[in-house]
Amino acid sequence: MKCLPLLATVLLPLAGPVFAAAHADTSMTAEVTSNDGIAGTVSVTPQPSGVTVVKIDLKGVPAGEHGVHIHETGDCSAADFSSAGGHLANGMQHGVMVEGGPHPGDMPNAMVGEDGVLSATYFMPDLAPELLMDDDGAGFIVHSGADDYVSQPSGDAGSRIACAVLVSPK
Ligand SMILES: [Cu+2]
Ligand SMILES: [Zn+2]
């Protein structure tokens, strides 16, 4: 038992820098791609609190309610944006109204008026930087319709009308 205070003295200084490295600044900003005339940016910024902030600034979006999510692959090359894959799941179910949900990148629907502006900021407690910055990055998708927060695997939100590639800054 006499060894314990010595061990703690040795280990604690080592733990500090390792913890700090895991929370390095990793803000990502990307322009959206769209075949429906939508333009603008999305930024994803992990914060010191551990919560990730997603800020969306788009124009040219059809009026109405739109599902917005983080998808698993940073690839907008397919015309229908199916290349972005399914939702970033991390073993969870889709939607806040479902047991075992939500996915870490499920956001509340965005309401867009006749001016076509989608301006929204979301606080995402489960969207950890490690999930976003795997080898194939992550995708941001705007859907044609509303997410019902229940249907599997993606909320029955309709087609994909805008896409952005989120990759970590090197
Ligand atoms: Cu989606
Ligand atoms: Zn989802």
pLDDT tens for 125-157 read: 999 999 998 889 999 999 999 999 999 999 999
Q: What would the pLDDT profile of 43-96 be if each residue is shown by its tens digit? A: 999 999 999 999 999 999 999 999 999 999 999 999 999 999 999 999 999 999
Cross-strand partners of 124: 52
Residue 33's domain comprises 25-166
Tell whether 47 is covered by a domain: yes
Q: Is residue 153 domain-resident?
A: yes
Could you give the CA distance from residue 46 to residue 114 in angstroms, rounded to a whole number? 32
User: What pLDDT shows up at residue 83?
Assistant: 98
Ligand nearest to the CA of 70: 1
pTM of the model: 0.84
More confident residue, 45 or 25: 45
Residue 135: per-residue pLDDT:
87
Q: Is residue 115 part of a domain?
A: yes
Q: Is residue 15 part of a domain?
A: no
% of the chain exceeding 70 in pLDDT? 84
For residue 52, the cross-strand partners are 46, 124
User: 1 CA to middle of ligand 2, Å?
Assistant: 50
- CA nearest to 167, candidates 40, 43, 3: 43
**Which residues have CB less than 5 Å away from ligand 1 (the ion)?**
69, 141
Q: How far is the CA of 138 from the centre of ligand 1 (A)?
A: 12
Q: Is residue 18 part of a domain?
A: no
Residue 17 in domain: no
Number of residues written out for the chain = 170
The total number of structural domains in the chain stands at 1
Q: Does 2 map to a domain? A: no
Pairwise pLDDT comparison (12 vs 75), residue with the higher score: 75
Ligand 1 mean position, distance from CA 132 (Å) = 15
Residue 125 lies in a domain: yes
Residue 117 Cα to ligand 2 midpoint, Å, equals 23
> Ligand 2 centre from 149 Cα, in Å?
8
Asked whether residue 24 carries a pLDDT value surpassing 60, the answer given is no
Whether omega before 102 lies within 30 degrees of 0, making that bond cis, reads: yes
- Give the number of whichever ligand sits closest to the CA of residue 84: 1
Cβ proximity of 158 and 148 under 8 Å: no
Pick the ligand that lies closest to the CA of residue 141. 1
Is residue 118 within 8 A of residue 66, CB to CB? The reply is yes
**Residue 52: half-sphere exposure toward Cβ, Cα within 13 Å:** 26
* Residue with the two structure tokens 């551990």: 50
Burial class (CB in 10 A: 0-12, 13-18, 19+), 94: buried
Ligand 1 centre and the CA of 85: distance in Å? 9
Give the CATH number for residue 90.
2.60.40.200
Taking the CA of 145 as reference, the closest ligand is 1
